[in-house]
A and B are shown apart, each in its own frame.
Chain A
Amino acid sequence: MGNTDLWTVAVIIGLACVTVIARSFFFMSNKPWGLPHWAQRGLQYAPIAALAAVIVPEIVMAQGALIETWRDARLFAAVAGAGYFFWCRGAGQAVLGTIVAGMVVYLPLHLGLGW
């Protein structure tokens, strides 16, 4: 259990400001922003690309390197989760189902087999 220090508290407050600035970035100013057409079209792809960029390294990498084995619980859990989502075609509580299906595969492999 760590001790509280003022530097950490200051960084945390800074991170809160980062949250506000990032999430309000384009509507902080009253000036109209002329949005180029390509940027509007780019909005189609940017959010899903950002999610993939965060998720994929978390599934196929360990300690900063690509994993070299297929015996990794994360691979099977990710496939099971996404498989569940598309099997139920995203209806109802599909995201919750994705988590449950993924964890049902993940925990036995990870804790049972040590993958």
Chain B
Amino acid sequence: MFLRPTHYRHPAFSAGMAQMWPQAPGIAAWGLMTGVAMVKSGMSVFESVLMTLLVFAGSSQLAAIPLLVAGAPAWVILATGFCVNLRFVVFSLHMRPYMMHLPLWERLMHGYLTADLTYVLFTRQYPKPGATADERLAQTAYLAGNCAVNWGSWISASLVGVVAANFIPTQWGLGFAGILCLIGILCSLASTRLRLVAVGVAGVAAVVAYALPLKLNIVAAIAVAVLLCLSLERFEPQRPAGASH
């Protein structure tokens, strides 16, 4: 990871950092608001700092906060966290061929640190897994650089948020900056007509199925949108493989 000289001295490490820097303010804004939200909902400073340092997943943190405060059963909180994180399971499927040359603990470390934006930027930069040892090293170095900026801006902003929580009124609604950040990411993925269909279908389905417990409306919405788009694909003109992103 970013602790290893062969990675952080590699030119791809700087490239990974350079591509993440423009996103850092958005990540920081979301991290700041997550930090504020944790303290504002009644978690102690120690719990908030621990959650920031360990969990490192904004959406599952934000989903877990009200359940933690309400004293929901641990399995419900963990299951909710996993459901909100299901998109990462999908990402990991895509990332598998890029990762398998690494030893297990390094794969787990990379997986842990690869959040939404890193996944999007990494797979856009490298549409195909490396074929040679040099290519694989460059990809790993890029990933490490990208993660370093993402991790640093998220963690530092969250910690500032925990401290600043007493000075920022909750009713300002600054947490909405996090949603706007996700909207920007969504727009950057909206590269084909069928993906726009997926946005519409998933959005409507998530609202219709909102009453489902454990945030399962999100899982249901993904399933409906993906299945519908797969069945609509046959009506699309043929495109060369790998033309996405």
| Chain A residues within CB distance 8 Å of chain B | 1-4, 7-16, 18-28, 30, 33, 35, 38-39, 41-61, 64, 66, 73-74, 77-78, 81-82, 85-86, 90, 92-99, 102-103, 106-107, 110-111
Q: Per-residue CB proximity of B155-175 to A under 8 Å, as 1/0?
A: 000000000000000001110
For B218, the closest partner residue in chain A by CB is A53
For A102, the closest partner residue in chain B by CB is B180
Q: Chain A nearest CB: distance from B152 CB in Å?
A: 17
Q: What are 5 A-B contacts with C-beta separation under 8 Å?
A: A45-B229, A48-B190, A49-B198, A52-B186, A98-B180
A111 to B105 Cα, complex, angstroms: 48
Q: Chain B nearest CB: distance from A23 CB in Å?
A: 4
Interface of A is mostly: helix
Q: Which residues of A contact B179 (CB under 8 A)?
A: 55, 58-59, 74, 78
Q: Which residues of A contact B244 (CB under 8 A)?
A: 44
Number of residues from B at the complex interface, CB < 8 A: 97
| Chain B residues within CB distance 8 Å of chain A | 22-23, 25-26, 29, 39, 42-47, 50-51, 54-57, 59-61, 64, 68-69, 74, 77-78, 81-82, 84-96, 99-100, 104, 107-108, 110-112, 114-116, 119-120, 172-174, 176-177, 179-190, 192, 194-195, 198-207, 210-211, 217-218, 221-222, 225-226, 229-230, 233, 244
